[in-house]
Amino acid sequence: MEVETVLVPVDGSDAAMEAVEYATAIAERYDAVVHALYVLGENAAAAMEEGSVEAAAIAERGEQVMAGVRAVADGVPIDHSSAYGYSQTRLSQHPGSVILDVTESLEADFVVIPREPVTGDPEAVIEKAAEYVLAHASQPVLSV
């Protein structure tokens, strides 16, 4: 199997950071890069669309999460992006579909996704996506 890009969606949760550890181990094994996708939660997306939260504040939170990702990656090449996990105008947009869309656009070869318990925390976005990604991804998926 050839792996050049490992996608790992993150939301700042402990489970997502554990998934980063697995993603970097796979990237090391295959001499690949890790792409960390910061998925914005429903509240953050709505607040940005309403204008009640500055984009800079959301970007700062994303950079904090990415700093944690880089610390865990320990020398493995990392790139990253951010995406809305929800949209008030595109009802079919949810965290699982966003993750798969980014996977396809990056032509990622492997996905590592945390299998988080449903906590009800509105910012724990990935917990709602694992089942969808497992069911619909065309790439190999490791759920941790």
pLDDT exceeds 60 at position 87: no
Work out the burial of residue 129: count CB atoms within 10 Å of its CB; fewer than 13 is exposed, 13-18 middle, 19 or more buried: buried
Instruction: Indicate if the pLDDT at residue 122 is higher than 60.
Output: no
The 3 state secondary structure assigned to the chain is: CCCCEEEEEECCCHHHHHHHHHHHHHHHHHCCEEEEEEEECHHHHHHHHHCCCCHHHHHHHHHHHHHHHHHHHCCCCEEEEEEECCCCCCCCCCHHHHHHHHHHHHCCCEEEECCCCCCCCCCCCHHHCHHHHHHHCCCCEEEC
pLDDT tens-digit series, residues 23-82: 999 999 999 999 999 988 766 666 667 777 777 877 888 899 999 999 998 889 999 998
The C-alpha R_g of the chain, in whole angstroms, comes to 14
> Of 11 and 110, which is predicted with more confidence?
110
Q: Can you give the pTM of this predicted structure? A: 0.85
Lowest mean pLDDT among 11-25, 85-99, 129-143: 85-99
- Looking at residue 83, what is its pLDDT? 84
Residue 90 has pLDDT above 80, yes or no: no
- pLDDT band at residue 138 using 50, 70 and 90 as cut-offs: very high
Question: For 3-32, what is each residue's pLDDT tens digit?
Answer: 999 999 998 888 889 999 999 999 999 999
Domain residue spans in the chain?
5-143
5-143: CATH number: 3.40.50.620
Residues shown for the chain: 144
Cα–Cα distance measured from residue 22 to residue 46, given in angstroms and rounded to the nearest whole number = 31
Angle at 63 between CA 44 and CA 18, to 5 degrees: 90
Once rounded to an integer, what is the mean pLDDT over residues 95-112?
A: 94
